[in-house]
């Protein structure tokens, strides 16, 4: 094997960085990003059985559904790390090389599964641009290194990112919206970036180390494929199980709805007839809190989803205990500060919200 091409730090075709910190960054990416992605995907969990393909795709990516995919993924990550530690020593072992080859398939598996999770929107263009950014950078970086001052270039790029983040914060009116957007975007691009890393390494390994497929190697590949098919079957079945466990209807304002069932003279509630023919007790507090929730959903969908998930767990359990008018009166009283503060803040942004809230649950 010719290793001279790997000894130069300026050889960009090498699949593994020659610099120590480069190998550390590669190692951190391939180990931390799967953990981060599996953790963050819970933020996107659907609230109810809406029937959208995107909801199925998100549940397909859940760690609970990928339970038997994860060991296969861990095997490929370990093999890639071994090559980062000592490529000369471990590249000669087929078990390590095969781990990288299987990593290509797994990274492609998650990259394809990500696509349905995004409904048709401008997100797709942003995602594709983020996907190919490493390819563009690999072409652009050598030219910048030869022509420009790298420190100045880095400062300019950092300044542009800061300006874009500031514009995003101003337009969204929520300081956390750009941050959450960047985190979610990272979840969606991480599989494809991992695919590019593993594919580049796999091509290099095949070119420099593979000569023939022996019977033992063929059996190893067959066993892995059988394990992958079995894991994929479990993944799909678990996806449907997770979906069937979701509420069939959109979640309601549990505590506020229960609080509206207090003594009408105290909570100011009245019975209204909904469009589905059912009756519901509604007061101004319930209407205002619902309008605040809808406004937050528009201003910062990701922050709303995170808060909604927490509330779905806590609020639903608390609402179970509010079964008589007296407890409903107490719940109404404790919700007053939340109602007044949140509605006052929303009124600063949208003065018309006072009239809009009066139509909640009535039309």
DSSP state at residue 249: S
In angstroms, the Cα distances linking 99 to 81, 96, 110, 135, 179 are: 10, 5, 16, 24, 34
What confidence score (pLDDT) does residue 166 get? 59
What confidence score (pLDDT) does residue 68 get? 95
Q: What is the pTM of this model?
A: 0.64
Residue 279, SS3 per DSSP: strand
What confidence score (pLDDT) does residue 8 get? 38
* Ranges 12-21, 23-32, 203-212, 296-305: which has the least confidence: 296-305
- Secondary structure (DSSP) of 114-147: HGGGS-SSTHHHHHHHHHHHHHHHHHHHHHHHHH
- With vertex at residue 128, the alpha carbon angle to CA 201 and CA 114, rounded to the nearest 5 degrees, is 80
In angstroms, the Cα distances linking 123 to 67, 126, 130, 196, 239 are: 28, 5, 10, 21, 24
CA 48 to chain CA centroid, Å, is 18
For the chain, give the mean pLDDT. Answer: 78
Q: Can you tell me the mean pLDDT for 30-34? A: 92
What confidence score (pLDDT) does residue 176 get? 45
Question: pLDDT category, 302, cuts 50, 70, 90?
Answer: low
224 CB-near residues (< 8 Å, 6+ apart): 72, 98, 102
Tokens of 77: 């990550």
115 CB-near residues (< 8 Å, 6+ apart): 57
What confidence score (pLDDT) does residue 106 get? 96
d(CA 311, CA 253): 9
């Amino acid at each position: 094997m010719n290793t001279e091409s790997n000894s130069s730090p300026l050889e960009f075709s090498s699949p593994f960085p020659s610099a120590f910190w480069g190998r550390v960054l590669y190692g951190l990416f391939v180990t931390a990003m799967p953990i981060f992605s599996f953790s963050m995907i819970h933020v996107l969990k659907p609230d109810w059985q809406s029937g959208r393909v995107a909801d199925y795709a998100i549940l397909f990516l859940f760690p609970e559904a990928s339970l038997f995919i994860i060991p296969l993924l861990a095997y490929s990550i370990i093999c890639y790390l071994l090559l980062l530690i000592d490529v000369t020593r471990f590249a000669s072992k087929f078990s390590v090389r095969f781990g990288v080859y299987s990593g290509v398939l797994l990274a492609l598996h998650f990259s394809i599964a990500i696509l349905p999770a995004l409904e048709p929107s401008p997100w797709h263009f942003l995602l594709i641009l983020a996907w190919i950014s490493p390819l563009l950078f690999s072409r652009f970086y050598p030219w910048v290194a030869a022509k420009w001052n790298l420190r100045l270039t880095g400062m300019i790029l950092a300044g542009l990112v800061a300006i874009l983040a500031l514009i995003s914060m101003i337009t969204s009116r929520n300081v956390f919206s750009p941050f959450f957007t960047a985190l979610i975007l990272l979840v969606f691009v991480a599989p494809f970036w991992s695919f590019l890393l593993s594919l580049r390494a796999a091509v290099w390994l095949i070119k420099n180390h593979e000569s023939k497929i022996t019977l033992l190697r063929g059996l190893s590949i067959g066993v892995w494929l059988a394990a992958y098919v079995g894991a994929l079957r479990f993944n799909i079945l678990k996806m449907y199980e997770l979906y069937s466990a979701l509420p069939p209807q959109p979640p309601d304002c549990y505590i506020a709805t229960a609080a509206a069932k207090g003594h009408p003279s105290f909570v100011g509630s009245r019975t209204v007839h909904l469009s589905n023919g059912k009756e519901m007790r509604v007061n101004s507090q319930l209407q205002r809190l619902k309008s605040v929730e809808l406004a937050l959903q528009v201003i910062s969908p990701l922050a709303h989803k995170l808060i909604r998930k927490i509330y779905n767990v806590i609020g639903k359990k608390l609402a179970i205990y509010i079964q008589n008018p007296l407890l409903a009166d107490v719940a109404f009283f404790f919700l007053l500060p939340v109602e007044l503060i949140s509605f006052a803040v929303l009124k600063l942004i949208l003065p018309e919200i006072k009239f809009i809230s009066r139509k909640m649950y009535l039309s």
